[in-house]
Chain A
Amino acid sequence: MALTRRDVEAVAHLARLSLTEAELERYGAQLEAILGYVESLNRLPLEGVEPTTHLSPATDRARPDRPAPGLTQAEVEALAPEFRAGSVRVPKILEE
């Protein structure tokens, strides 16, 4: 499985990471080695096998709909990188 530099760049963009040239090269090679290692799964017959996504036997049940306190505004403000006028601030979301 050959991975191009552009493949790694595209994945990094999806993951919202910006990688340096050195990182692109290193992660590309390592990703290729890891994907090569997991290729062995192709030898397993898996037709008709259901995928397993979770293992807890717990089932959903409704809880009583009672109001309970959440975080206070002061607690949210203390955590936020930028907070003004009762809001968490972020940079521009829409381009003009």
Chain B
Amino acid sequence: MMKSPASLTIHEAAAALRAKTLSSVELTKAVFERIRAVEPQVHAYLHLTEEDALAQAAASDRRRAAEESRGPLDGVPIALKDNLCTRGVPTTCASKILERFVPPYDATVVTRLRAAGAVITGKTNLDEFAFGSSTENSAFGPSRNPWDLDRVPGGSSGGSAAAVAADEAIAALGSDTGGSIRQPAALCGLAGLKPTYGRVSRYGLIAFASSLDQIGPLAKDVEDCAILEEAIEGWDAADSTSVRLEGPSVTQASAGDIQGLRIGIAKEWLGTGLDPEVRAAVDGARVPLEKLGCTFREISLPLQDYALPIYYLVAPAEASSNLARFDGVKYGRREDGANIVEMYKKSRSAGFGPETKRRIILGTYVLSAGYYDAYYLKALKARTRLRQDYLDALKECDALLSPATPTPAFRIGEKADDPLQMYLSDIYTVSVNLVGLPALVVPCGFSAAGLPIGMQLIGRAFDDATLLRVGARYQNVTDWHRRKPPLPDSGEGGV
């Protein structure tokens, strides 16, 4: 049987579109056929925009016929995490409080994707407000891991990861506050990039923790991550934390070899709690990287064990503050109350799910008078020391290599009743957000049970390109990223 165009990467699709062996309408139809076949099992999407997607695809084909094509994303179907605002298209954050919210504007990344000619397939599932590591906190039911439908795809961008892994989109955007792009990418066998804080505008991303949030790509390979980052990044007047980027473009800068690069591995990363199969897979990645000219050195990050405690003070504190805006006044769910405070309380209590309430309560507690110094301020000071550790390590190393997650994908329901156990699945990813650096997850093996394993490369601030270069060269000589999940079609002729 011929390979479905839905299984292509961005750069493969772009080549076929350029060669006119494939049209965007054909590609988009193939993606929606695939969605119809597997979505009942995977539940990656909350909302599909098929009609608009086919219109965008037809417009892309017309541009190409007129030789006015806009580059590698023109005509390529991309999925968006449902916390990115889309004009005229529901944006729910997987929360009942925003169930009927239809934004009157596009997020900057969406504007930029549209300008690049991308075809938007729909909005993907997530943990409510991006609070979680499994999509089990979605108010609209969990997504499933295409590699094993009884397991989670990771989270919070689990819908985006499941969609790309199941070929229900060519690539997707997610957001990453403590690992929400990288952990699901690892659990679904994808490449996922958390750009340096400040590289991508967050305008129109429904805020979780503003000093940590960053939007980035989940894709079938590293080259696609570079294409997507280049399309969405750069200064934006609407986000005061976004930065004017200088120098060569990401795709140019990630093209060279990696001869002589020094890569650090922290001894603190390989301690108890790390699954032996994950350890072996990450260790195994050193061999091809050494053949490509990289050298490895052991480093120390003494504050590693404090990263998760710092994160679970800083992130809920910022979240409780950001989520104060959901009050039932101007938009979103409102429940009637005799006075305004009762209206606030009823609307918020009916609209937020359990994990969201838990984080709001935790965040409100650590910011409240009498506890601010004991918890929040202490965490901010520890964050300074954690950051110094990383900056010191990256003086003698060009990049750092760690596991992406302590274990492969866990079972649905396995950690749902134990928030602390769930939080531990982010142990390798949260530091990167706290210190504002870029990090890339790349598939580096499979468990005996056939589940994907990912490694994480961490780089210097604004040097995302070095990570993409290492990841792309690694993928030139390995084929973990080419494997496809053994997903049965649920449509006619399927199981």
How many angstroms from the CA of A78 to the CA of B419 in the assembled complex? 37
* Chain B residue nearest in CB terms to A74: B104
Is B104 touching A75 in the complex (CB atoms < 8 A)?
Answer: yes
Majority-rule SS of B interface residues: helix
Tell yes or no: A95 within 8 A of B by CB. yes
Q: Are A58 and B240 in contact (CB under 8 A)?
A: yes
Q: Are B309 and A71 in contact (CB under 8 A)?
A: no
Q: Would you list which residues of chain A between 60 and 83 have a CB under 8 Å from chain B?
A: 60, 63, 71, 75-76, 78-82
Residue of B241, B328, B329, B349 near A58 (CB, 8 A) is: B241
Instruction: List residues of A (9-40) whose CB comes within 8 Å of B's CBs.
Output: 11-12, 14-19, 23, 27, 30-31, 33-35, 37-38, 40
Judging by beta carbons under 8 Å apart, are B331 and A81 in contact? yes
- Residues of chain A within 8 A of B341, CB atoms compared: 16
**Is B381 in contact with A55, judged by CB distance below 8 angstroms?**
no
**Is B428 in the interface zone, CB < 8 Å from A?**
no
- Interface residue SS majority, chain A: loop
Q: Which residues of B contact A42 (CB under 8 A)?
A: 378
Do the beta carbons of B237 and A63 come within 8 Å of each other? yes
* Beta-carbon contact of B368 and A14 below 8 Å: yes
- CB A78 to nearest CB in B, in angstroms, measures 7
Tell me the count of chain B residues lying within 8 A, CB to CB, of chain A: 67
- Inter-chain contact A11/B364, CB cutoff 8 Å: yes
A57:B383 contact, CB within 8 angstroms: no
> Which single member of B101, B243, B343 contacts A79 (CB below 8 Å)?
B101
Give the chain A neighbours of B331 by CB distance below 8 A: 79-81
A23-B362 in contact given A34-B420, A37-B309, A57-B198 (Cβ < 8 Å): no
- Chain A nearest Cβ from B211, distance in angstroms: 5
Residues of chain B touching chain A, judged by Cβ–Cβ distance below 8 Å, are 101-102, 104, 197-198, 211, 237, 240-243, 303, 305-306, 308-310, 312-313, 320, 324, 327-334, 336-346, 348-349, 352, 357-358, 360-362, 364-365, 368, 375, 377-385, 387, 419-420, 435-436, 461
What per-residue 1/0 map shows which CB atoms of A44-58 lie under 8 Å from chain B? 101001111111111
Q: Are A52 and B383 in contact (CB under 8 A)?
A: yes
Cβ contacts under 8 Å, B328 to chain A:
81
Tell whether A17 pairs with B365 under 8 Å between CB atoms, given A49-B381, A95-B339: no
Q: Is there an interface contact between A53 and B211, defined as CB atoms closer than 8 Å?
A: yes
Q: Contact: A11 with B368, CB < 8 Å?
A: yes
Q: Is the CB of B385 within 8 A of A17?
A: no
Q: Is the CB of B380 within 8 A of A16?
A: no
User: What are 18 sample pairs from A and B whose C-beta atoms fall under 8 A apart?
Assistant: A12-B361, A19-B349, A27-B357, A31-B358, A34-B312, A37-B312, A38-B313, A41-B313, A41-B382, A44-B306, A49-B384, A56-B242, A75-B104, A79-B330, A81-B329, A81-B331, A81-B334, A92-B339
Say yes or no: A52-B387 contact (C-beta < 8 A), given A23-B357, A34-B312, A37-B312: yes
Closest A-chain residue to B378, C-beta based? Answer: A41
Whether the pair A93, B340 counts as a contact (CB closer than 8 A) is yes
Query: In the complex, which residue of chain A has the Cβ closest to the Cβ of B342?
Result: A91
Contact partners of B198 in chain A: CB under 8 A: 55-58
Q: Once bound together, how far apart are the Cα atoms of A16 and B360, in whole Å? A: 10
Among candidates A15, A49, A78, A91, residue contacting B338 with C-beta atoms closer than 8 Å = A91
B312 touching A53, Cβ below 8 Å: no
Interface size class of chain A, counting residues whose CB lies under 8 Å from the partner chain: 35 or more
Task: Across the interface, name the chain A residue whose C-beta is closest to B380.
Answer: A51
Across-interface contacts of A88 in B (CB, < 8 A): 329-330
When distances are taken between beta carbons in the complex, the residues of chain B under 8 Å from A37 are: 308-309, 312, 420
C-alpha gap A57/B330 in the complex (Å) = 33
In the complex, what's the smallest C-beta–C-beta distance from B329 to chain A, in angstroms?
6
Give Cα A8–Cα B384 distance, bound, in whole angstroms. Answer: 30
Q: Residues of B contacting A52 with CB < 8 Å?
A: 380-381, 383-384, 387
| In the complex with contacts A11-B365, A40-B305, A51-B384 CB distance below 8 A | yes
Q: Are the CB atoms of B382 and A44 closer together than 8 Å? A: yes
A41: chain B residues at CB < 8 Å are: 306, 309-310, 313, 378-379, 382
Q: Are the CB atoms of B362 and A31 closer together than 8 Å?
A: yes
Asked if A85 is an interface residue, CB under 8 A from chain B, the answer is no
Task: Please determine whether A46 and B385 come into contact, CB atoms closer than 8 angstroms.
Answer: yes
Q: How far is the CB of A72 from chain B (nearest CB, A)?
A: 8
A17 near B345 with CB under 8 A, answer yes
Decide if A55 touches B384 in the complex (CB within 8 Å): no
Question: Distance in Å from the Cβ of A44 to the closest Cβ of chain B?
Answer: 6
Bound state CA distance, A17 and B349, in angstroms?
5
Q: A54-B211, A90-B329 are in contact. Are A16 and B345 (CB under 8 A)?
A: yes
- Interchain CA distance A81-B127 in the complex, whole Å: 25
Of A14, A19, A33, A50, the residue contacting B381 (CB under 8 A) is A50
CB distance from B27 to the nearest CB of A (A): 34
* Bound-complex Cα distance A56 to B243 (A): 8
- Closest CB of chain A to B234's CB: distance in Å? 12
The distance from the CB of B448 to the nearest CB of chain A, in whole angstroms, is: 32
A46 CA / B378 CA spacing, docked (Å): 8
With A53-B211, A58-B241 given, is the CB distance from A19 to B312 under 8 Å? no
CB <8 Å contact, B364 and A18: no
CA distance A18 to B344 in the complex (A): 9
Task: Point out the residues of chain B lying under 8 angstroms from A53, CB to CB.
Answer: 211, 380
Docked CA distance A91–B327 (Å): 12
Q: In the bound complex, how far is the Cα of B339 from the Cα of A12, in angstroms? A: 18
